[in-house]
Amino acid sequence: MATAGNKIKVVCRIRPFLKTEKPDSAVSVEGDTVLRVTNPRDTTKDVKFNFDSCYGAKVGQDVIYKADVRPLVESVFSGMSATVFCYGVTGAGKTHTIQGTDTDPGIIPRALEHIFMHKQHDPLDYDIRVSYYEIYKEAVFDLFKPRDSAGGSGLPIREDASRKIFVAGLSEKRVTSYEQFDAMYQRACGNRRTASTKLNNHSSRSHAILTVQVQWKDTVGSGKTWCGRLHLIDLAGSEDNRRTENGRDRMAESSAINRSLFVLGQVVEALNTGASRIPYRDSKMTRILQDSLGGDSQGMMIVNVSPGEAFLQDTHNTLNFATKSREVVNKPVAHEVVEQRWSAVDRLQHHRGAGRAVRSAVVAAGGVAAKRRWSEEAGGSDTDGSPGHDSAPGSAGSSSTAAGSKRRISPAVPPNRSSDGTSRRPPLAGHPQPQQADFVQKVVSAKFNEISQKSESASNQIMERVMRIEKQLNGAQLDSNAVIDLFTPATKLKTSRGWLKHARELEQKGELERALAHYEEALKYAPELNKLEAHIAKLKARIRRQKRRSSLASHGEANVRVADQVKKPGAAGSENMMLSGRAGGPGADEEDEEEDVGPLWLIDGLAESPGAEKAKRRALASKAAPSAAAANGAKKKANGALKPVPKSSEQAPPAKALFAPKEPPANGVAAKPGPKRVKLGDASKKNPLASMAGKSRFVSVTEGSVHDSHRLSFGTSSHNPFVVGGDEFQSDLQDRIERKNASLATLRATKLDSKSSAAARLRRVLQEPVTPDDRRDKDYVLGSDHADSDDDFESGAHAMAKKGKAKARRAGRAPGSLGVRGLLEKRLSEGSEDAGRPERLSDVSAKSKASPSAAEEKLSLGQFNEICLASAVQMINSGEVKKIMKLQGIGKRRAEQIQASVQSVGPIVHISDLKHRLQFKNKLILDILSTFA
Ligand SMILES: Nc1ncnc2c1ncn2[C@@H]1O[C@H](COP(=O)(O)OP(=O)(O)OP(=O)(O)O)[C@@H](O)[C@H]1O
């Protein structure tokens, strides 16, 4: 008895205010069918919702039951299936409505009372069975069985030959009176999982489904057996975990609840839009509700809402969903019971298309074995143990009664079977014998199980992904990558192309930052596009440069003023003192703008003209003995005398190398290899810091090209313990690393194939791009982050001193003999005022001279750092700042400004003096520090 399509009935119920709640009503009933709710976006306005019925807070359980539920319960006696489910957010009154209390019983007790009443007054012999189960964290548990008897994974959900859903292994209880049912039901309710949350003291943590099956034989009329079913469902409430403040366990439950409710929404949406795929299988709850949502069951949804303003948004969402659900159309039919059910093999054949030979074999073997197997699989039980009710793939919640088939469809009897389940034909000659059939059946069963497992595992994987996303959504931390993960490759590609198109347009318009954001979006969808990644890196560098330029423009005016002051004769900066080295005023530097000076001065303390540099290289190569002039220079440094900064017009004194003679022998004869040669090789092998420093130095000495100096500048700044910490430094460092990598990549692409000597140099230098990991190496070596204070420096120095001591011991020397390191250590232990500070260049130099054996030593890492620092100090004092800046890729104007600022400070003893004196006044200072440090 099929009916025309019926829309799901939607009834709304407002719960009364609880004692603990503020009575600020936001929901009211207008007439019988309209619900008026304050608009959450504009609380001065109301929104109206239409439902089949609306009940205010004062309406009792009996009214709702009689008006809306009772007719559905009655329909069960016509062989129909009906489903009533309560939907709403946590604490809205679902459990109260469906279950009720002892004094105010809800729909379940009332419906069962009604059914037994009907049975009493009807001459037909009704067989009433109930099952009760919950879906907790996507697993089905029998509530009629003690909780600890259930396994962790719960019961499987299956589909029978007529595509009806059932829970395999679920117990069904035959009940003959309401009292009997009530006793069982009360016990079963105790098995249900509830917990106290912030929003509900007795919050249901699972969806609970009670199924009542009423079966009877029409002895008076057709003689057929009919079966009506009633599903009464208390859904767990959706939860906003920002408000529930759920802990880990509750969160896991909540996540499963929300996810299944989300799928419910998807199902409703798909049904309304006529989608080809309805995602029933995406959650156990929707799978079980399949017949009730768009199926052949009559459906009714009770929407429970909380009355207060606090739940306004939730209420609004619930009502929107309910409105959509009203559009779902079911096609209810009466269910006739067909005595014989299909075997597992038949079902497999029917659904999975197993081969004809297999089927014949199984049929030949007779239905008995198949029947027995099915019975074991379903694992049905019965309170009275009557064999006639052992198992059946009948419907949701029915595992131990005969299966029902819809009247409108052809009987679910396999075409080659008689009604008693045996084959219509005798086994044919050549067909498999029973043993063979057993074997075939085993194979088929195994295949069946394998397929089920696969589909189960696939669906679990999807669940997990959805759960992950939902978890992030709950924590308001939407990880877009997780969402992108869900897209198909085609969608990803398409989306990526869309972003790319926009990005290119923006880039052409010069809107670089927006373009960058679009490119980055595109990359998210197509991470395999290496070219795009490279383009993004370039664009980032370009943006940074632009920013730098604009920041320069904003600082320009002030700095130019400082520079002017410095230039004035007699002004504070003009009497700057220096340790040694040539004058390096702005004017002098300008001449050298394109000069390929390399970072030699960082090693040897002084910048020199190309001629002097060549001479120095020669000297280094020939290990010449120190010339008299060099010795003289060193002597002066040893005295630590501070000299006035020479005017830019004055001739700068020749540069002095610390451990190498600065000038070639006067007679021009190649000098004999001497003891002063600087080697870093050993230190380089020891740790990454030394290795970086070593490489840098090697490059600077032998190559001396601007590109090499990039490497040095990075090496020194990122490995120096005196760098300025903080985000700005980090970003600056990152910026430089990226710029460097970009330029190195370009150089590689353009020059490495060339046979020129420059390319050969590059090939040696550009082994690997510098990565941020190098910075971690530095932290590892120094054992601390950036040293912002002298204390930090001291701890760094302590570490260095300790290392030096150990090294000295290994080499059989006294710790103090290591020059700077030994002295440093001594000073630290004496607690002198300058403890922890690096030696001045002059001191270092003097000690080296005084102790040739120490100077003969290979330079240790600590020494190298100290020399670098001392050299930087010297550079600052001698006004060579601009040159360094240029090497850093800083523009000419900017470099001049920085130079002026540094000079305004006056002579410094240690690099950190800059920091203290200028007190990080602006970005300019940070630039200086990060460059020098
Ligand atoms: N109509 C009503 N009359 C009186 N009290 C009610 C009514 N509806 C709900 N309550 C009370 O409100 C509280 C929350 O109700 P209930 O536990 O039924 O919410 P719920 O929607 O099932 O929540 P959850 O989804 O967390 O399980 C309970 O204390 C219940 O007694």
Q: Write down the domain spans for the chain.
A: 11-22+49-336, 576-794+850-932
Q: Measured between alpha carbons, how far is 229 from 35 in angstroms, rounded to an integer?
A: 31
With a 6 Å cutoff on the Cβ, whether 704 touches ligand 1 is no
Ligand 1, pocket-test mutation among 90, 95, 108, 135, most atoms within 8 A of CB: 95
| CA 869 – ligand 1 centroid, Å | 73
Ligand 1 atom 12, closest CA: 93
Structure tokens at 774: 């190098």
- CB atoms under 10 Å from CB of 649, counted, come to 9
> In this structure, are residues 328 and 272 in contact, taking their beta carbons and an 8 Å threshold?
yes
Lowest mean pLDDT among 103-117, 310-324, 505-519, 567-581: 567-581
Structure tokens at 154: 């719960």
With a 6 Å cutoff on the Cβ, whether 90 touches ligand 1 is yes
Give the residue-averaged pLDDT of 729-755.
58
CA atoms within 13 A on the CB side of 51: 30
What are the Cα distances from residue 151, in Å, to 139, 155, 378, 440, 456?
10, 8, 16, 30, 17
| CA 385 – ligand 1 centroid, Å | 38
pLDDT in the model for residue 896: 76
Q: Measured between alpha carbons, how far is 37 from 316 in angstroms, rounded to an integer?
A: 8
With a 6 Å cutoff on the Cβ, whether 18 touches ligand 1 is yes
Is the pTM higher than 0.80? The answer reads no
With a 6 Å cutoff on the Cβ, whether 96 touches ligand 1 is yes
Task: Please provide the CATH number assigned to the domain covering 11-22+49-336.
Answer: 3.40.850.10
With a 6 Å cutoff on the Cβ, whether 207 touches ligand 1 is no
Q: Measured between alpha carbons, how far is 331 from 6 in angstroms, rounded to an integer?
A: 6
In ligand 1, which atom is closest to the CA atom of 201? 29
| CA 93 – ligand 1 centroid, Å | 3
Q: Measured between alpha carbons, how far is 605 from 678 in angstroms, rounded to an integer?
A: 14
In ligand 1, which atom is closest to the CA atom of 204? 27
Ligand 1, pocket-test mutation among 11, 198, 200, most atoms within 8 A of CB: 200
With a 6 Å cutoff on the Cβ, whether 213 touches ligand 1 is no
Residues 211-235 as b/e (b if ≥16 CB within 10 A, e otherwise) read bbbbbbeeeeeeeebbbbbbbbbbb
| CA 95 – ligand 1 centroid, Å | 6
| CA 100 – ligand 1 centroid, Å | 9
Q: Is the pLDDT of residue 460 over 50?
A: yes
Lowest mean pLDDT among 210-219, 472-481, 910-919: 472-481
With a 6 Å cutoff on the Cβ, whether 200 touches ligand 1 is yes
Task: Scan for tokens 């439902």, then name that residue.
Answer: 51
Ligand 1 atom 31, closest CA: 96
Please return the burial class of 496, using the count of CB atoms within 10 Å of its CB with bins 0-12, 13-18 and 19+.
buried
Ligand 1, pocket-test mutation among 11, 13, 15, most atoms within 8 A of CB: 15
| CA 602 – ligand 1 centroid, Å | 77
pLDDT in the model for residue 814: 43
Q: Is the pLDDT of residue 489 over 50?
A: yes
Q: If you average pLDDT over each of 248-252, 317-321, 403-407, 876-880, which comes out highest? A: 317-321
With a 6 Å cutoff on the Cβ, whether 871 touches ligand 1 is no
With a 6 Å cutoff on the Cβ, whether 307 touches ligand 1 is no
Q: How far is CA 849 from its chain centroid?
A: 59
With a 6 Å cutoff on the Cβ, whether 106 touches ligand 1 is no
- Residues annotated within a binding site for ATP: 88-95
pLDDT in the model for residue 275: 78
Q: How far is CA 510 from its chain centroid?
A: 32
> In this structure, are residues 416 and 425 in contact, taking their beta carbons and an 8 Å threshold?
yes
Q: Is the pLDDT of residue 511 over 60?
A: yes
In ligand 1, which atom is closest to the CA atom of 13? 1
pLDDT single digits (tens) 531-566: 888 889 889 988 988 887 787 666 544 444 433 433
Q: Measured between alpha carbons, how far is 548 from 550 in angstroms, rounded to an integer?
A: 5
868 confidence band (pLDDT: 50, 70, 90): low
Q: Is the pLDDT of residue 75 over 80?
A: yes
Q: CA triplet 45, 46, 52: central angle to 5 degrees?
A: 170
With a 6 Å cutoff on the Cβ, whether 258 touches ligand 1 is no
- CB atoms under 10 Å from CB of 536, counted, come to 18
pLDDT in the model for residue 73: 92
| CA 15 – ligand 1 centroid, Å | 7
Q: Measured between alpha carbons, how far is 199 from 574 in angstroms, rounded to an integer?
A: 74
With a 6 Å cutoff on the Cβ, whether 308 touches ligand 1 is no
* CB within 8 Å of 254: residues ≥ 6 apart: 239, 241, 244, 246, 474
Give the residue-averaged pLDDT of 464-484.
59
pLDDT in the model for residue 269: 80
pLDDT in the model for residue 84: 92
Q: Is the pLDDT of residue 225 over 50?
A: yes
Label each residue of 685-747 as H, E or C.
Answer: HHCHHHHHHHHHHHHHHHCCCHHHHHHHHHHHHHHCCCCCCCHHHHHHHHHHHHHHHHHHHHH
Structure tokens at 289: 């509700």
Q: What is the rounded average pLDDT for all residues in the chain?
A: 62
pLDDT in the model for residue 238: 76
Structure tokens at 433: 């014998």
Ligand 1 atom 2, closest CA: 15
With a 6 Å cutoff on the Cβ, whether 358 touches ligand 1 is no
Find the DSSP H helices in 720-819: 727-751, 757-765, 773-782, 790-810
| CA 96 – ligand 1 centroid, Å | 5
**pLDDT higher for 654 or 760?**
760
Ligand 1 atom 1, closest CA: 15
pLDDT in the model for residue 703: 26
Ligand 1 atom 14, closest CA: 91
